[in-house]
Amino acid sequence: MMRLLRQLFWVFLTLGFLFGIILLFSYDIIKIEWVSFMEIQPAYQPMEDPLPPPEGSIPIEGAIAIPGMGAPENPVETDESSLTRGAELYIINCRMCHGPTGGGNGPIAPFLANKPANLTSEVVQSKSDGSFFLTISNGITGRMPPLNENLTVPERWDVVNFIRTCFEPQENPREECR
Ligand code: HEC
């Protein structure tokens, strides 16, 4: 009888001991760093090529411009709200180079090797809205940065409307242009 009790005592002591050790791990009192590297994971790396759109997907805004099909048509009407947005976006994204009145004399223009275009000039104003849009979207290599990540598609058209409407010298400038 005594022997059985003693054996049971040892069995429970051993079990309790093992249980205690397991608790130490499960509460992270003892931590083991398993070999793991951040780069070994299925995540998509920032330097990899952009993922192609999933098969069969359709862009909800339609194609912005189809390469080789020329400049797109301006779908945004030149109304008061478009001009107001365009004026604000111009101040944020363009004015530092092209200047407050579009003359190409913004505050950082003196530091640029290639001077920003005078947006009021005949040469620039004779270009189409779509040509402005493409310039804003793609930039001009080595001269003007592409701004497609700063401005959404409708925002780019607002800026186009603004430079078209407000940078032509005019006798009675619209309210939004002043
Ligand atoms: C970093 C300075 C910089 C910024 C910012 C910038 N531009 Fe330009 N932009 C230039 C330069 C430089 C040229 C090229 C002038 C040249 O050599 O013909 C240019 C040219 C242009 C032209 C003339 C393109 C042509 O076909 O002749 C348009 C239109 C224009 N920019 C619009 C914009 C608009 C709109 C924005 C803001 C959304 C903007 N730019 C922001 C520097 C800038």
93-139 tens-digit pLDDT: 999 999 998 999 999 999 999 999 999 999 999 999 999 999 999 99
State whether residue 144 is helix, strand or coil: strand
Q: What is the mean pLDDT of the chain?
A: 87
Instruction: Report pLDDT for 121.
Output: 92
Confirm or reject: Cβ of 124 under 6 Å from ligand 1: yes
Q: Within a 10 A sphere around the Cβ of 143, how many other Cβ atoms?
A: 14
Atom of ligand 1 nearest to the CA of 93: 37
Whether residue 63 is predicted with pLDDT greater than 70 in this model: the reply is no
Confirm or reject: Cβ of 136 under 6 Å from ligand 1: yes
Atom of ligand 1 nearest to the CA of 132: 29
* Ligand 1 pocket test, candidate residues 97, 118, 129, most atoms within 8 A of CB: 97
Distance (Å, whole) CA 160 – CA 86: 7
Residue 76 pLDDT grade (very low, low, confident, very high; cuts 50, 70, 90): very high
Residue nearest to atom 31 of ligand 1 (CA): 117
Residue nearest to atom 11 of ligand 1 (CA): 116
Q: Within a 10 A sphere around the Cβ of 91, how many other Cβ atoms?
A: 12
Beta bridge partners of 116: none
Is there a contact between 87 and 176 (Cβ–Cβ < 8 Å)?
yes
Q: What phi and psi values does residue 9 have, to the nearest 5 degrees?
A: -55, -45
Instruction: Report pLDDT for 127.
Output: 94
pTM of the model: 0.71
C-alpha closest to that of 120 among 140, 104, 141: 104
